[in-house]
Amino acid sequence: MQRGFARLFLIIAVLILVAFGVYRLTASFSKSPPPNFPNSPIVPDVSEFNNYSNESLGFSFKYAKDLTVKDDSEEEFNKRGNGNFRKNFKGYVIYEPAQVLGAVTVLGKDGSFDSAPLSVWVFDNPQELSSPQWFEKYWFYPFIWGVFAEPDKGHIRPENVSTVSGQTTKYGVVSYQPGSPKFLYLAGDKKIYLLRIIGNEGEKILQSFKFLE
């Protein structure tokens, strides 16, 4: 009888120890901190470009945020060049250049108009002259004009094909000017758009140039 009771007591003691061990093990797991997964980095959606849109002149483009867009005009152009280029044009060529409807320039970090990546001049074109006809009559006024000798005029004549805003045109490169600017014309609704492009920044902006619908 005593031997049976001792055996029963031993079994109960073992069960108690096992139960206590299971309890401690479960408690240790429940107190363990959750795994420390690193937070996913939040990448801000920040564009590298600004959008420019001019409804009155009918075009838009994108430009880098470290550049600046400025309105321009014949008056300001004359001040920078210390002259009256419309008057000089008429005095030399006999007829006046076309009416300027507006101008926009994208300035680089140096703020110079002479080396600006992009300049857009918009002219009234009531006769709806084509781009080649316009060049023969006005050259690249106000930047270049009055070149009558065919060898010199042929040197700047637009001959390289390009597509801008879905419109096929031709451009000329004036290698003797600083930055070797590229000039091209685009035809709009009774308007002619003269674009002067300088350097890689100018090319990037040109790729985004679009006419407004």
pLDDT tens digits, residue range 193-211?
A: 999 999 999 999 999 999 9
Position 48 scores a pLDDT of: 87
Q: Phi, psi at residue 198, to the nearest 5°?
A: -130, 125
Q: Give the DSSP H or E segment for 74.
A: helix 74-81
Q: Work out the angle at residue 50's Cα, subtended by the Cα atoms of residues 141 and 114, and round it to the nearest 5 degrees.
A: 30
Order of strands across the sheet that contains 210-211: 49-54, 59-64, 210-211
Q: In angstroms, rounded to a whole number, what is the distance separating the alpha carbons of residues 3 and 5?
A: 5
Is it the case that residue 13 has pLDDT exceeding 70? no
Position 192 scores a pLDDT of: 98
Name the amino acid, one letter, at 138. Y
**Strand runs labelled E in the chain:** 49-54, 59-64, 68-72, 100-107, 118-124, 160-164, 167-173, 182-187, 191-197, 210-211
Nearest residue to 103 (alpha-carbon basis) of 65, 74, 141, 137: 74
Nearest residue to 160 (alpha-carbon basis) of 180, 138, 189, 190: 180
Is it the case that residue 46 has pLDDT exceeding 80? no
Mean pLDDT of 21-38: 47
Q: pLDDT tens for residues 85-137?
A: 999 999 999 999 999 999 999 999 999 999 999 999 999 999 999 999 999 99
Beta 100-107 vs 68-72: how paired, if at all?
Answer: antiparallel
Is it the case that residue 37 has pLDDT exceeding 80? no
Using CB atoms within 10 Å of the CB of residue 208, give its burial: 0 to 12 exposed, 13 to 18 middle, 19+ buried. middle
Which ranges constitute the DSSP H helices of 1-73?
2-31
Radius of gyration of the chain (CA): 37
Is it the case that residue 30 has pLDDT exceeding 60? no
